[in-house]
Structure 1
């Protein structure tokens, strides 16, 4: 940061500008303490980083920044590197929020995954031999933790990380045969996928990307195409959330090409519908939702992979409501969201908080301030109970669009409820990020 500050100062002098960029200012950019540098500082950053000024204006912050992470190839060496990178992240959390894969690199990763066959490790690693009992225990713990993260995510974080460290350590140092190698990689992929969601829910986007990248490599080494496709749906959801729906559509096209499970295909269609809705393509969104419904009807427990086990008609209905809201059909959205919330099991509180926030926005669009305020209040209480910053932020944004309507008594009650909360919540202006 100090070196970058010096180079920014030199760039300012070359342009005849009186600016004194400091290490502290750069830290605020990297840690997200400020939304974005102002236009002058972005111009100087582009000078230092060798980025054309037109890209700064076209792509916007932080997407014009060059991505310093290069995706690993889908080979035994590349998979090892991706898994070891996760160990570094666990040991030293990355504060640099914009040090992540670019959207172009992400599509390239998906394309490689769809076209490159896994390589077998030629010889066993030095060290102790992994027996079947240990692998079965790891697989069982992975399935249990995956289920627990849906209801007790903050409490599960350390457990998931411990499982991931143990499995990567075995892959790196133990001896095993080829079937055991594939099973170990599948455990690593599942654990890394869960960890990615835990980081994503806390707004730690770079860490989430690294975990999902490692998970994709491990799933590839395990020859598990459905699991790999599921991880690509996570990448696609992430891209749509950050307002890059076209990237999400491209990633999902590659994922769809190698997927067999009806439940997995249903989730792919659902994620695609969400991205297409943000792109404003009503016809394609409707087709994707119909395809998701058809595949979900064909899904059977025996053919549904654990990572897609949470997928239900409630999720499909709620996501359809989100799509209609995005496409400017609030009445249709409100009915779909109401139906979905009614079907949702009680333990799915994070999903419930998001659905309530979407329904609050639908009610606001329909000028029903009483319903909007009531749903925003319920969404807030539910989101705070989950401790997921991603959910809290989305509810924050929804409530910030409702609270200015102070002529309504229900809205004033909502404001009073917010003011009385024991936990500090930042009620800023709505963000422009994508919907969850």
Structure 2
């Protein structure tokens, strides 16, 4: 893949336009506006080789490509071009462009995805094969961010990550404000190399957390943009584990949205450069989940065995914050989901129950998901009372967490019970109607 190609050249190839074709279309666009334009093939060539088009030419091009004016105003040339169905290159400029993407306000449909299957896999592959020596060439510039500011940003980032797991209603706005401030500091390019590394580490951490808040709100395209930005920023910060975890989040999202084959391919690349056992354990669990959906029993068993083995190697003092929450509870409960997908509800119920008993009570969103899985397993085992009890607890927990993704999950499960006439199920449906109507 050509990582350094100009996005305008990529767009031309997408539309099968020569430089002359594009110039002709832009002249026609100008005539439709009652304007005269001297755009020709040579001018297009200059744009693709470092010259910035004037404002009128950019307006004509935006009209032709259907890009809203607000996007061209918020992103500089050529970053507003809708060419990056392709991954951003893992260079300082490519990473800055990926980070600036999260500053743009968009009206995404809840289920829309901005990155295709091939793009997600390419992003993971590019990161996995990028030469480590490029990291040392990534940052530079003049001193401009002092130690006091850096330390403050780092403290706030860690505090906001901790707060994001709770029911704090304004934490998303606080995270976005700190992320945008950090991206602005990076864009100014006035810092020494070590300060730049630390700034990118803060940006990666905040973008990663912001992606999860959007995923929980069913804002999938926005989550993808933030996780892609987190991969880029973590790469510039030399944080391989955080980059790998952000890639694994994209894989988890792919499985959640019924694209498990994409998840397996992403995770193969992501795991190749992890350092922390907790990170490898997390990636193994997510691979197991994808394999189970694909009905790959042996692949699921291998991944779960590896996840357990890696977890035994974890040492809290050397575990990065991004995976400090990873525990036996997560392996057990996700293993239960795997056994459900593979048609073994009794085994699923046992391990999900163990996971729930061991789960940190502060992780309400995770609890809601695991309770829904256990309710599904109980239903497969023909235990209507247990299924109704778990579904009711899952709904209460999901509503208390405020996570639309979790509410949708348990609501979808309850909606599948419309034809059931057992008394506990009838009562559950009535309870759900009342709870969701409030």
Q: Distance in 1 between matches of 2:112 and 2:399?
A: 26
Counterpart of 1:254 in structure 2 is 269
Alpha-carbon displacement from aligned partner over 1:288-321 (angstroms, at most 9, x marks no partner): 1111011111101122111101111111111111
Paired residues for 1:402-413 under 5 Å: 402-406=417-421, 408-413=422-427
CA contact (8 A) 1:364 1:402 kept: no
Alpha-carbon displacement from aligned partner over 1:105-140 (angstroms, at most 9, x marks no partner): 110000000111345256415xx7111121111111
Counterpart of 1:297 in structure 2 is 312
Alpha-carbon displacement from aligned partner over 1:65-115 (angstroms, at most 9, x marks no partner): x99733211111101111111111xx3443485350101111000000011
Counterpart of 2:336 in structure 1 is 321
CA contact (8 A) 2:139 2:193 kept: no
Note the residue ranges of structure 2 that are not aligned, 5 or more in a row: 1-81
Work out whether 1:417 is the aligned partner of 2:434: no
Q: Distance in 2 between matches of 1:222 and 1:168?
A: 13
How far did 1:174 drift?
Answer: 5.2
Alpha-carbon displacement from aligned partner over 1:49-72 (angstroms, at most 9, x marks no partner): xxxxxxxxxxxxxxxxx9973321
Q: Distance in 2 between matches of 1:273 and 1:318?
A: 12
Q: Distance in 2 between matches of 1:121 and 1:360?
A: 49
Counterpart of 1:19 in structure 2 is none
CA contact (8 A) 2:91 2:138 kept: no
Counterpart of 2:89 in structure 1 is 73
Alpha-carbon displacement from aligned partner over 1:129-153 (angstroms, at most 9, x marks no partner): 1111211111111111111111136
Work out whether 1:83 is the aligned partner of 2:102: no
SS in 1 for 2:127: helix
How far did 1:260 drift?
Answer: 1.1
Q: Distance in 1 between matches of 2:107 and 2:155?
A: 28
Q: Distance in 1 between matches of 2:184 and 2:431?
A: 49
Alpha-carbon displacement from aligned partner over 1:212-246 (angstroms, at most 9, x marks no partner): 11111111111111111111110110110111111
Q: Distance in 1 between matches of 2:423 and 2:203?
A: 52
Q: Distance in 1 between matches of 2:239 and 2:356?
A: 33
Q: Distance in 2 between matches of 1:418 and 1:123?
A: 56
Let me know the Cα RMSD of the aligned residues: 1.9
CA contact (8 A) 2:139 2:197 kept: no
Counterpart of 1:115 in structure 2 is 129
Work out whether 1:134 is the aligned partner of 2:146: no
Q: Distance in 1 between matches of 2:220 and 2:436?
A: 27
**Structure number with bigger Rg:** 2
Q: Normalising by structure 1, report the TM-score.
A: 0.78
Q: How many residue pairs align between the two structures?
A: 355
The counterpart of 1:188, out of the listed 203, 224, 229, is 203
Alpha-carbon displacement from aligned partner over 1:377-401 (angstroms, at most 9, x marks no partner): 1111111111111001110121122
Work out whether 1:100 is the aligned partner of 2:100: no
SS in 2 for 1:87: coil
